[in-house]
């Protein structure tokens, strides 16, 4: 039996994120690292619950909230220099893809068009990658501007 792409991509990202958060400096291991780990694990729990539920939409909405928490905690981790820009880019790419899969799954439930052949969490919207790519680029630019402003303010 082939596992759904959203579960595979989430598991890959979850393992990567836990490995990174274990390297956070000691002062943040029980703060930011714990929040990130809890949020991504809660997201995975919601996916599992939704896959086994007769009415998964509410559970998927909860999953979306957990995914948004992960996004925000990742950004904060970069600002605190717990993650590098390169790690942020990697995380953002994965979060965009996972978000598209989640949105596709939720959309299929809203419209009631999900066929038995369609994988849970797959997306059919061809505009979504472009929009998500622009959003990722915008977030990256905003983060770069903030970091350069911080560096300029530290210089005498």
How many Å apart are CA 88 and CA 137, to the nearest integer? 12
pLDDT for 125? 44
pLDDT for 111? 78
How many Å apart are CA 156 and CA 101, to the nearest integer? 47
- Return the percentage of the chain with pLDDT > 90, whole number: 63
Q: For the chain, which residues make up each domain, given as ranges?
A: 5-154
Helix (H) or strand (E) holding 23, with range, is none
Give the single-character DSSP code of 31: T
Span 125-140, mean pLDDT? Answer: 56
Domain at 5-154: CATH code: 1.20.1440.60
Query: How many other C-beta atoms lie within 10 A of the C-beta of residue 68?
Result: 14
**34-89, pLDDT tens digit by residue?**
999 999 999 999 999 999 999 899 999 999 999 999 999 999 999 999 999 999 99
């Amino acid at each position: 039996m082939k596992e759904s792409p959203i579960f595979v991509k989430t598991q890959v990202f979850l393992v990567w994120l836990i490995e990174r958060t274990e390297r956070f400096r000691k002062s943040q291991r029980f703060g930011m690292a714990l929040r990130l780990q809890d949020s991504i694990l809660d997201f995975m729990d919601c996916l599992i619950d939704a896959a086994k539920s007769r009415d998964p939409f509410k559970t998927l909405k909860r999953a979306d909230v957990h995914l948004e928490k992960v996004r925000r905690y990742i950004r904060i981790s970069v600002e605190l220099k717990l993650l590098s820009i390169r790690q942020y880019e990697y995380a953002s790419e994965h979060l965009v893809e996972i978000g598209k899969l989640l949105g596709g799954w939720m959309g299929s439930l809203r419209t009631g068009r999900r066929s038995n052949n369609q994988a849970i969490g797959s997306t059919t919207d061809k505009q979504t990658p472009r929009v998500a790519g622009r959003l990722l680029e915008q977030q990256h630019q905003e983060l770069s501007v903030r970091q350069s402003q911080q560096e300029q303010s530290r210089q005498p």
